[in-house]
Amino acid sequence: MATNKTVGKTNTLGLTREDYKGNKSTLCPGCGHDSISNQIISVAYDVGLKQENVIKLSGIGCSSKTPAYFLGRSHAFNAIHGRMPSIATGATLANHELTAIGVSGDGDTGSIGLGQFKHMMRRNVPMVYIIENNGVYGLTKGQFSATADAGQELKYYGKNEYPAIDLCMEAIVGGATFVARSFSGHAEQVRALLKAALAHRGTAVIDIISPCVTFNNNPNSNKSYDYGKANEIPLHEIELIPEGFVPEREEISIDPDKMESYEAGQEILVRMHDGTFIRLQKVGPDHDPRSKAQALALLEKVGMEQLFLTGLIYYEEPRPTLLDTLHVVDTPLARLQGDTLRPPKEALDKLMQSMM
C-alpha cells in the first residue's frame, strides 16, 4: 500500500473520498471518535485502500460503534464487549489476505478485554488495533475506565483512586511490534500513524486519546480536548516513505543502539519489513522507537509525570505473525474448496485398515 497524492477528486482506484464513508454517525456531536473515523476515511482514500478486502472489527461501546461510520463497502463485525481480539484472530486465520482494522475503547480493551488484548499481541495477529481512549465508559454514561488517571474526578462518580493502566506499556510488554499514541485532536499525526500501521505486518496498536465530550471533557481532565491541545507533546513528525525513496546513506545516519540524543529536526528512519520507511522528524524529547528499553523508560516517565507524549513509541522488526507460525497453505483457508478440504476415500480406508 503506497501513499499516493490524489489528483483531482478520485484516488488510484477511481473512487472519491465519499466512497469511503459509512453511515451517518450517531455519536454525540464533537465526539473525538468521529474525528478518528474521518482520519480513517481520509487515509483509506489517500492510500487507495481496497475496501472489499478490509474487515472492520470492534467490541462494544461508543468507539466500537464507529466501524459503521467509515468504509461502507467493507465487511464489519461489531462483536461483544472486550472480545474483538479473538474475533480478529479467527477472521485473519480464516483469510490472511484481509486487511483487519479493529476499533475498541479503553473500557473494551483495558477492562473486560485486557486478557484478549494481551494474548492477541503475543500471537502477533496481523491487524491495526485502534483504541479510542477517553478514560470513561461513554456508552454506559460515564463511569471511570481503567485508563483514567489517578486523582481524576468525574461529576457523578467522584474521584478515581486507582492508578491508570497505560495501554501502550501493556502493548509493548505484551509483545506488540508497533505501538503508538496519538490524540484525536491531532488529525495529521493520526493519519500518518494509520498509514504506517496499515503498512506494518503484525499487530499495530494505536492508543488515541479521544475526548468524550459528554462525560469527560472538563478541561482539568487529562482526557479532554482542552487539556490535550494544551499539553500534547509530539515526539516527532511522522511520514511514511515508500520503498526505494530513501537513500541508503540516510538510513544509517542514526545508530539506534547508541541511543544518543539527536537534535530537533533530525530524523530517524524506521525501516519496515517491505522496505518502506517511517521517517520520524524530531520535534519533542529524544526517543528512538526501535529500542524497547527506551520505550519502556519513556512510558515509565510518562506515567510518573502524567505527560501526554504522542508519536510512534515502539517499533520492532516484525516477528512471525500468527499465520506464519501455523504453517498453513497460502490460499486463504476460507477459500479452500471440496478436494482440499476432504481427503480422498482411500485415505480413510487406509486408516481404517490400520485400526483393524
Ligand X SMILES: Cc1ncc(C[n+]2csc(CCOP(=O)(O)OP(=O)(O)O)c2C)c(N)n1
Q: Does 209 bind ligand SF4 (CB under 6 A)?
A: no
What's the min distance (Å) between Cβ of 71 and its own copies?
30
Q: How far is the CB of 45 from ligand SF4 (least distance, A)?
A: 24
Which residues make Cβ contacts (< 8 Å) with residue 263, sequence separation at least 6?
282
Q: What is the DSSP letter of 284?
A: S
What would the x/- binding string for ligand X be over residues 266 to 285, using CB under 6 A? --------------------
- Nearest residue to 180 via CA among 36, 190, 224: 190
Residue 282 grid coordinates: 524530531
Quick one: DSSP state of residue 265?
Answer: T
Select the residue interacting with ligand SF4 from 10, 86, 214, 218 (CB under 6 A).
214
Q: Which is nearer to another protein, 283 or 334 (CB)?
A: 334
Rounded Cα gap, residues 223 and 183, in angstroms: 9
User: To which residue does cell 492508578 refer?
Assistant: 163
Under the binding rule (CB under 8 A), the answer on residue 12 touching another protein is no
Q: Which residue is it, cell 522507537?
A: 289
Q: How many residues bind ligand X (CB under 6 A)?
A: 18
Q: Are 125 and 321 in contact (CB under 8 A)?
A: yes
Binding track, positions 114-153, relative to another protein; x by CB under 8 A: xxx--x---x-------------xxxxx-xx-x-------
Among 102, 105, 126, 311, which residue interacts with ligand X (rule: CB under 6 A)? 105
Which grid coordinates are listed for 80? 461483544
Residue from 2, 93, 173, 307 that binds its own copies (CB under 8 A)? 173
- The partner in contact with residue 60, picked from its own copies, ligand X, Mg ion, none with C-beta cut-offs of 5 to 8 angstroms by kind, is ligand X
- Furthest C-alpha separation in the chain: 77
Q: Which of 124, 120, 128 is nearest to 47 (CA)?
A: 128
Positions 313 through 352 that interact with its own copies (CB under 8 A)? 319-320, 325
**DSSP state letter for 21:** B
Phi, psi (degrees; rounded to nearest 5) at 193: -65, -40
Tell whether residue 330 is a contact of another protein (CB under 8 A): yes
Closer of 233 and 347 to another protein (Cβ): 347
208 sits near ligand X (criterion: CB under 6 A)? no
Give residues with Cβ within 8 angstroms of 299, minimum separation 6. Answer: 166, 168, 169, 172, 313
300 binds its own copies (CB under 8 A): yes
Give residue for cell 480406508: 349
Q: Residue 246 contacts by C-beta under 8 Å, 6 or more apart in sequence?
A: 269, 277, 279
Contact call for residue 319 and another protein (CB under 8 A): no
Binding of ligand SF4 by 2 (CB under 6 A)? no
Chosen from its own copies, ligand X, Mg ion, none, partner binding at 273 (C-beta under 5 to 8 Å by type): none
CA distance 286 to 281: 11
Rounded to the nearest whole angstrom, what is the least distance from the CB of residue 208 to Mg ion in the complex? 11
Q: What residues line the site for ligand SF4 (CB under 6 A)?
A: 27-28, 31, 33, 62, 134, 138-139, 212-215
Which residues lie near its own copies (CB under 8 A)? 111-116, 118-119, 122-124, 146, 161-163, 165-166, 169-170, 173-175, 292-293, 296-297, 300-301, 319-320, 325
Residues making contact with ligand X (CB under 6 A):
60-63, 81, 105-108, 132, 134, 136-140, 145, 212
